[in-house]
Amino acid sequence: MVKLLELILSAEQMLLDEVAFPQPCFAARSAAALHRKVKESRIALLALRNATNNQYPLLAAVIASCFVFVWLKIHRFSCFRILNRNCQHHRRSVAASLVQGVYVLERDRQLNRQGPEVLAPPWWEFFHFELIRKLVDDADFSIFGAIFELKPLASNAPRFVIAFRGTVTTKESVSRDLTLDLHLIQNGLHRTSRSAIAMQAVQNIASAFRDSVIWLAGHSLGSAMAMLAGKNMVKNGIFLETFLFNPPYVSAPIERIKDKNVKRGIRFATSIITAGLAIALKPQQERPHSDDPFAILANWIPHLYVNPADHICSEYIGYFEHRENMEEMGVGSIEKLATRIRSAIYS
């Protein structure tokens, strides 16, 4: 019990340090179903869902998971008797918890927590995963990712999950992480040594276990790493299920404009100009559709979770709303052409 209280307190501190996922990963979506099965936790879970109200998603996920974890330990239940592996919300909860495990793994390293003092293992052991490898940055030796394996293997569940954390603002890793954030803004993240380590790790697992289900997951900077690794695998004909929490969207902060008409006008004009340039510079001989990297990449659809209050990723909301508006106006083909050009620039 003391261990779980320490876990809650550490996660609360992480929330204060602005390490938060975009939507309630466990509580708001799953509490209603869970309290029917866990009657003893009914009041606590309902109060939690109402109190958080989508504002503090990671804290909600942490506390709800701990309630369930304690109850399962007391009643000797397996977590798989409650989690529905076919439920998208539950799958998201697993992915988010493993990403959070990487954050805590790095924090354990920074604070030199050893043996019974470590706080990271419950984040993956609760779901029957084992940590088989830590992904370590070659510049500051921080843990930025991890490879987890499910044991024993279950149906409709991934055998491996490769998870990546985002930026950590503690003094031990902030310099390296902010440098990578700058590379991301400059569209140079794929040229960094950390991304090379990440993509090679994913490549090795995918090559060695071709018939196994593999997930990618990441938060913030880590979601950008997961996206790079996923794109790289798509080029090799391998499509990995991917969970992206608050992925950065590099663009002008149009979503922060309060006037909806102004926002729509800017996005419309941008699409027209981009598509016009594409037509003007269009080569005489187009490559076959089967060789078009954009067409191939379009078949890979990662799960995207975005926090509207996070300016780093909220532009995704405006982007998809703009696509719907363009389709309704009957000019969806213009936006598709503009998207192809943007994809070519940032790939």
Give dist(CA 163, CA 222) in Å, integer. Answer: 8
- The domain limits of the chain are 25-80, 254-279+295-346
What pLDDT was estimated at residue 313? 79
**Cβ atoms 41, 4 nearer than 8 A:** no
What pLDDT was estimated at residue 268? 64
- Centroid of chain to Cα 19: 12
What pLDDT was estimated at residue 186? 87
Nearest 10 degrees: CA dihedral of 244, 246, 252, 255? 120
What pLDDT was estimated at residue 74? 46
Give dist(CA 284, CA 280) in Å, integer. Answer: 11
Per-residue pLDDT of the chain (347 residues; tens, 9 = 90+): 444 444 444 443 443 333 333 333 333 334 334 434 444 444 444 454 454 444 445 555 555 555 555 544 444 444 544 566 678 888 999 999 999 999 999 999 999 999 999 999 999 999 999 999 999 999 999 999 999 999 988 888 999 999 999 999 999 999 999 999 999 988 899 999 999 999 999 999 999 998 899 999 999 999 999 999 999 999 888 999 999 999 997 766 666 667 677 766 667 666 666 666 666 656 544 555 555 566 677 788 899 998 888 878 777 777 777 677 767 777 666 666 666 655 555 55
Half-sphere exposure of 17 (CA within 13 A, CB side): 17
What pLDDT was estimated at residue 339? 63
342 CB contacts (<8 Å, ≥6 apart)? 274
64 membership: H or E segment, kind and range: helix 57-75
What pLDDT was estimated at residue 319? 72
**Cβ atoms 149, 173 nearer than 8 A:** no
> CB burial class (10 A; 0-12, 13-18, 19+) of residue 21?
buried
What pLDDT was estimated at residue 24? 33
What pLDDT was estimated at residue 293? 61
23 CB contacts (<8 Å, ≥6 apart)? 29, 54, 57, 92, 305, 307
